Structure 1
Amino acid sequence: MQDFILPDIGEGIVECELLEWLVKEGDLIEEDQPVAEVMTDKATVQIPAMHSGKVSKLYYKAGEVAKVHEPLFALDGNLDDQQKAHGTSEGASSDKSKTSEPIFEEEESKLSHAPSADDADSSKVQSRETLDFILPDIGEGIVECEIVKWLVEEGEKVTEDQAVVEVMTDKALVEIPAKYSGVISQLYYQQGEVAKVHSPLYSLNTSEGCGTKIGLQKTAEQVSHQPQVTQQRSPEQKSINKKALASPAVRRLARENNLDITCVLGSGKKGRVLKQDIAAHLDKSQQTDSANQVATNHNVNENRRSQSQQTEGVDNHNTVEPIRGIKAIMAKQMTDSVFSIPHFSVSDEIEMDKLMEVRRELKQEFEGKGTKLSLMPFFIKSLSLALKQYPIINSQVNPECTEITYIKTHNIGIAVDSKVGLLVPNIKGVESLSLFEIAQEVERLVGLARQGKLSNQDLKGGTISISNVGVIGGTTATPVINKPESAIVALGKIQRLPRFDQNDNVVPVNIMHISWSGDHRIIDGATMLKFSNLWKSYLENPISMLTELS
């Protein structure tokens, strides 16, 4: 007997309420079969079995609170062993019409091959060689991800650790490698669909021979031409369908579509009915019912479509797409920030000529060391120097607005427009980094962000942010604070504009507009302006930063 320990089911979650047991004591269950529905303070989650076997004890009753990392239920033995023993006990009292599925596979093997004592064992080994790959934990608190791109196709050979699929969570783009070598037999999701953590992602045939699948298809064709075997299989097929294996979500989907789930052929492990099986069954029915109508109206529809395009010239149909991944988390974060933080803004302009000259002088030296030098490292380092004198700008307020936490480290975030959406990685401990080290970090983070491969560590723990809208072409902006931070600055593009010098002569000057947003609960306008003026002084006179560097 082995205890199933309730795993981590979300960031910061230590307990959950047991809503419903999906099995009872004494039931035989399969690996990954849903066992219980539990509710946390964030969502309702189905807990799957880690192994096959027999449920010997349920440690909680419906309505009770279960603790994370404590036993949830006990599992006795292995399902294969249980089924083998169960089949043996029935063999003495059952006739041939009640033959179990493994025995039927043995009969198929004997029909398609020369009789051999090893045929039955061979068929059983082949059935075990097709494995479902279970989507593992891919980040703290992440329960689902979007399929961005399959890197393989069904029927393609893969090797151990070969990248199989790219998935996008609400934090980053992740490549999922193959756990074993073999042949991809089925992909359970299409691109753009959402896959659940701890659910099957694809199935893999790990047999060395590539003709296993073809051999089984030929066997099935030969069996279909044998009247006696067909007559024996029909009642067995009915008994299997009466006990269709499916999760509660799939059964609910079948009920919503008035569909008898026992009529659906399951493509999952050991005949499990999946959501795509329901969809395929419904599509097939609809196609059968509407085939004649489609053929009759095809030309009419084509003519109408052609006429519509000629008269209107454009497609007037609206497009609807779900908000997922980075877009979803950004929408939630920005909404929370705007409605919980009273923003205020101040703007100014900075003369950039001296800073641009310093960059030109240092650029070649940095490139000689393998690092590109942009203006961003200067913005970041000077911002850190200003934060030392105005720590309130680097502080954070608690949700109840009763305490202020002054953050000692300066973890300065930089907004990056990546291919998966807006990302704000941050450079940790800027106060103790040199200009060269900051330039290295900027180059690393921007490169990873544009590939969508930032780690959770790079995205967590920011204390203040910089949004460089100028690289796209904007001059001013009103940035939204990246909660729980208290301030953010937007940098406009550098423009060559006329200005008056001390002698009232008009001179061309490189000007950059800056726009600050602050949390008005803890930062007042005067403090923000003093802080901004100090930061501005460092940028307009870069040599003044030397007096502050330690």
Structure 2
Amino acid sequence: MTVKEFKLPDVGEGVAEGELVSWLVAPGDRVAEDQPVAEVETDKALVEVPSSYDGTVEELFVEEGEMVPVGDVIISFRVDEDGDDAGTEVEAEPEPASTDESASEPATEAADAEPDTPSGRTFAPPSARRLARELGVDVAAVDGSGPGGRVSEADVRAHAEGADGSASSDGADDGPEPRPSPTPTDVGSGDRKSAVSKRGANGPAGSSTATAAGGPEPAGRETTLATPATRKVARERDVDIDDVPTDETRDGEAFVTADAVNAYADALESAAASTATETTPEPEPTDVDAGAEPAATDAASADATASGDETVPYRGVRRTIGKQMERSKFTAPHVTHHDTAEVDALVEARADLKPTAAERDVKLTYMPFVMKAIVAGLKQHPYLNSELREDEEEIVVKKEYNLGIAVATDAGLMVPVVDNVDEKGLFELADEVNDLAARARERKLKPAEMQGGTFSITNFGAIGGEYATPIINYPETAILGLGAIEERPVVRERDGASEVVPAPTLPLSLSIDHRVVDGAVAAEFANTVMERLENPLLLLNE
């Protein structure tokens, strides 16, 4: 039996780290090669990480919510035979055979034993290893009480307490001095203090008083499961996570969410405030110098903490979007050109084609028509389909027409790319756009499907709105924003007279990199696009 360690693979071009969002397996699970074992969110997409082995999950080295650099070990497997070199083999060298005639046990017994490793690696979850580091305990020296000798947090604490007791009785000082064991108010929270004391101790924030005044009773657990983000909330709210009441469990252990932490902290503060109001006398008035600056206090920060604001990690796709927008806005001087197309004929053309599209199981939207109109504009005004390479001091005019379509998702705006738009028909474009948008919302896009764009489209009108100032998807040179198609008043010539009538119109917002594209060229491009949208039969040539 061999133990294989599996490292986080390169899950996309240029990706250096990822957040382990969720484990899809647990220790003891049997997995097959290529079976997904974890979901990892990179700064480009949410991807599933497949196993490289057929075997049994031995140990998980990373907790959900942790950021993991590419190449770090995240999981280990027990395999029956040598696998490929994607992991690191940690099988121990066999001990020399004994020459003692009494040591004649069958060889099968040794084969069935748990494999040792040169590093003396012990089976323990990440939370137990972290606690061992905090307490200065060598986890390999801890006797595990779990299945197969698995070490729990309780085992680590018991070992730490036993080490303290033996040190005081034996006076041994030849080993490294362990860190102090946690006090009752420290358990489960490192060097943080809880807002409620355990075992009747007087903790901070008037917790004993708060409990006596009707506040929530602390749970007083020894072990609590929570994501790193939730533990951060507990630190910010000055709450011991082991005290937070919860009915949720994972793997038989109590599991606490950020909402539960905030609710518990709010209840404590409410009870403490009520008690303070009843017992605190009015302060004596003091003289205040009218010209003096107000004394600095922690009231503002305390109010912010007490407000229950949610803290959300700024990473993954959201961080990538932010960096990309910052880079684009501060690199390319943006200019936005606004115009409005009268699209009576486009609305009629789509209505005429929808039944045929439905027969082919295609949902036909206005987007394919717009894409074809944009390609017509790019062919006539190619500098909007270009990239400025500043280091080389050159403008690369692209010969491919790969249009990125911005899609709003729970994680932020994602821009899948439709390649070679000029070579595809309306129905084919509609089907591809619908597929990419659906997979973008489900976070199932591959990184390659969001690369290689030469021009982008953002359809904010689908949510509501007319005009905007879209930010260019740098290093592209332009982006077109679409407003909502609605009936608006327009001026039409009829029988030699002008009259105002309602008509369907499409507002357009074209942002350009003014280093590459002049305002006049932008207006000409918009005119070409509007001409095709107002006369959709012209798209037959595209």
* TM-score, structure 2 as length reference: 0.62
* Corresponding pairs, count: 376
1:295 pairs, out of 194, 199, 203, with 199
User: Which ranges of structure 1 fall in alignment gaps of 5 or more residues?
Assistant: 1-124, 209-239
2:45 is equivalent to residue 149 of structure 1:
no
The Cα of 1:166 is off from its aligned counterpart by 1.1
For residue 161 of structure 1, the aligned residue among 30, 34, 42 is: 34
Paired residue for 1:516?
A: 510
Mapped to 2, the partners of 1:363 and 1:140 lie a distance apart of 39
Distance in 1 of aligned mates of 2:183 and 2:370: 61
Give the C-alpha shift of residue 385 in structure 1: 1.0
If each structure's strand is expressed as a fraction of its own residues, which one has the higher value? 1
1:442 to 1:191, Cα distance in 2 relative to 1, 3 A? same
TM-superposed CA distance for 1:352, in Å, is 2.3
Which residue of 522, 526, 532 maps to 2:520?
Answer: 526
Matched with 2:407 is 416
- Percent identity between matched residues is 37
Residue 387 of structure 1 deviates from its aligned partner by 0.9
In 1, Cα distance between the equivalents of 2:179 and 2:312? 21
- Tell whether 2:422 aligns with 1:431: yes
Report the Cα distance in structure 1 between the residues aligned to 2:199 and 2:482, rounded to whole angstroms: 59
By percentage of residues, which structure has more helix?
1
Instruction: State the match for 2:501 in structure 1.
Output: 507
Partner residue in 2 for 1:352: 343
SS in 1 for 2:484: strand
C-alpha separation between the residues in 2 aligned to 1:367 and 1:386? 29
Question: Which segments of 5 or more consecutive residues in structure 2 lack a partner in the other structure?
Answer: 82-115, 161-177, 188-195, 202-206, 216-265, 275-302
1:88-137 CA distances to partner (integer Å, 9 max, x unpaired)? xxxxxxxxxxxxxxxxxxxxxxxxxxxxxxxxxxxxx4xx3x43222222
Q: What's the counterpart of residue 60 of structure 2?
A: 187
Q: What does residue 236 of structure 1 align with?
A: none
Q: Deviations over 1:333-366 (max 9, x none)?
A: 1111111111111101122221111111111212
Paired residue for 2:182?
286
Query: Shift of residue 278 of structure 1?
Result: 11
* Worse overlay, 421-430 or 258-267: 258-267
Q: Within 5 Å, which residues of 2 pair with 1:1-400? A: 125=1, 128=2, 130-206=3-79, 260=136, 262=138, 285-286=181-182, 290=186, 293-296=197-200, 299-302=208-211, 303=214, 305-306=266-267, 308-309=269-270, 316-400=307-391
Residue 373 of structure 2 aligns to a residue whose secondary structure is helix
Q: Once the two structures are superposed, what CA deviation does each residue of 1:270-317 show, in whole Å capped at 9, x if it has no partner?
A: x9x9xxx99998999435564694232565344465374488999513
Worse-superposed segment, 449-458 or 353-362: 449-458
Describe the shift of the 1:284–1:183 C-alpha distance in structure 2 as closer, same or farther (beyond 3 A): farther
Judge which range, 395-404 or 473-482, deviates more: 395-404
Shift in alpha-carbon separation, 1:283–1:471, aligned structure 2, 3 A = farther
Give, as a single letter, the amino acid of the residue that structure 2 aligns with 1:195: V
**What does the per-residue CA deviation read over 1:401-420, in whole Å, with 9 as the maximum and x for residues that have no partner?**
72111111111111011233
Does the residue aligned with 1:517 lie in a helix, a strand or coil?
A: strand
CA displacement, residues 470-520 of structure 1 (integer Å, 9 cap, x when unaligned) = 111222211111111000011111222233321333322112211111011
Please state whether the residue corresponding to 1:518 is helix, strand or coil. strand
Q: 1:158 to 1:287 in 2, by over 3 A?
A: farther
Matched, 1:537 2:531: yes
Task: Give the match's secondary structure for 2:485.
Answer: strand
Deviations 1:40-93 (A, max 9, x none): xxxxxxxxxxxxxxxxxxxxxxxxxxxxxxxxxxxxxxxxxxxxxxxxxxxxxx
Greater CA deviation, 163-172 or 179-188? Answer: 179-188
Distance change (3 Å), C-alpha of 1:176 and 1:487: same
290 and 342 in structure 1: CA distance in 2 versus 1, 3 angstrom threshold: closer
**How far is the alpha carbon of 1:181 from its aligned partner?**
3.7
Contact 2:378 2:385 in 1 (8 A): yes
The 1:355–1:401 alpha-carbon spacing in structure 2 relative to 1, beyond 3 Å, is farther
Distance in 2 (alpha carbons) for counterparts of 1:476 and 1:376: 17
The question of whether the paired residues in 2 share the 8 Å contact of 1:309 and 1:315 is answered with: no
Distance change in 2, residues 1:259/1:496 (3 Å): same
TM-score of the two chains, using structure 1 as the length reference: 0.61
Asked if the contact 1:244–1:261 (Cα under 8 Å) also holds between the matched residues in 2, the reply is: no
Q: How far, CA to CA, are the matches of 1:179 and 1:244 in structure 2?
A: 24
Change beyond 3 A, Cα 1:265–1:510: farther
1:491 aligns with 2:482: yes
Q: For 1:191 and 1:244, how far apart are their aligned partners in 2?
A: 25
Shift of 1:196: 2.3
**1:206, CA displacement in angstroms?**
4.0
User: Is the CA contact 2:333–2:513 (under 8 Å) kept in the aligned structure 1?
Assistant: yes
Shift of 1:264: 7.2
Structure 1 residues 380-401: Cα deviation after superposition (integer angstroms, max 9, x where no partner): 0110011111111111111247
